Structure 1
Amino acid sequence: MIKIMPTSISLLFQDAGDTGLAAGETLFAAGEDVANIYMVRSGRVHLHRHTTHGAQMVLQNAGPGGVVAEASAYSSRYHCDAVAAEESVVAGLPKSRFLSALADDPAIAASWSAMLARSVQAARFRSEIRSLPKVADRLDAWLGEGNSLPEKGRWQEVAAELGITREALYRELARRRTENRA
């Protein structure tokens, strides 16, 4: 998960217009034209993709300073849905202005490249977690990266991030509670 944006990238969003989002509100949907690049100022925005089996997977968990759907800078349409996981504020910068800044300033371009590399590393880690056969192993790997379980009403977000059903996560958490009591 990308937590801190290099200063030169965050400066691009300094004068960008802010949009407030309620928890569960959609910032953009798959198939929409990419007009803006968004940075999270506060809260958390998830990038969702729906599988052919109807499951929802979290492909990105962008917090303060994170750019939502970074690859959209090089696409004409969004390939996923961006949904506020909690009350959030995002800054929107026109895509053309964003790309011009990258072309005009090598330091900004280098910061952007470094951020994209970290994003690829995070995606690979999520893929590695999802390749683990056991729910317990997936949860252990996720927790081992410094993540912690949110309050009970938001456990389904963790399940989506792990690529498992919420019921499978609930069973694993119940199993661990039972083991801890013994």
Structure 2
Amino acid sequence: MSDWLSQVFSDATRRSFEKGGRLFHTGDRVLKVFWVLEGQIDLVRVTPSGNEMVLQSAGQGTVLAEASVYSEYYHCDAVARSEGAVAQLGTNVFKDRLATNRTWAENWAGSLAHSVQRARLNTEIRSLKRVADRLDFWLAVNPDTFPERPIKDIAAEIGVSPEALYRELSSRRQHGG
């Protein structure tokens, strides 16, 4: 996917970000498309109970908030989980480039389809009642990610509080799991 995106973003503006920074906030107008060059950025919503829910974890080579290209306003915050950089293009420039290149448009459609599949998988994980079941499912589909991701981020991704996830992990350690 990165090959065609590097062509689409070939003259894009580079923007650096620091850990904890925000690229945009809920309610901001959608004016740019971001392609992650380095680091990790999460799309985050805060639930009424105050817990963070991660809707997307975008790492290197990923377009952040891809569905927002077709929205007027952002529906979540983009939170940098590490320092890094993005390439940014105006949404109209991005759409115009896709409209003039069939291969890029097909690659973009495939990317959006993959995002829908990932969103459905996340919904399936969050539909499970027990923290243990959510963690087991998440580990099954992300086997190499666990040691690298902070517990707080994993908790947000599977839709539980960090405290609940810490308790589950502690229980597993005590029982040899």
Q: Is the 8 A contact 1:9 1:111 kept in 2?
A: no
Q: Percent identity?
A: 46
Structure 1 residue 175 corresponds to structure 2 residue 163:
no
- Runs of 4+ with deviation above 4 angstroms: none
Superposed CA offset, 1:54-96 (max 9, x none)? 2210000001110100011101111110011111211111111
- 8 Å CA contact retained: 1:45, 1:63: yes
1:102 partner SS: helix
2:62 paired with 1:66? yes
Match for residue 131 of structure 1 among 127, 134, 158: 127
The offset of 1:104, in angstroms, is: 1.2
1:156 aligned partner? 152
State the Cα distance separating 1:17 from its structure 2 match.
1.1
- 1:66-145 equivalence runs, <5 A: 66-145=62-141
CA contact (8 A) 1:37 1:67 kept: yes
What RMSD over aligned residues (CA atoms) do the two structures have, in Å?
1.5
Alignment equivalent of 2:25, drawn from 24, 29, 34 = 29
Instruction: Output the TM-score relative to the length of structure 1.
Output: 0.92
Cα distance, 1:88–1:172 mapped onto 2, change above 3 Å: same
User: Alpha-carbon deviation of 1:160?
Assistant: 0.4
Q: CA deviation at 1:19?
A: 1.0
TM-score by length of structure 2 reads 0.94
Moved more, 10-19 or 93-102: 10-19
Determine helix, strand or coil for the equivalent of 1:126.
helix
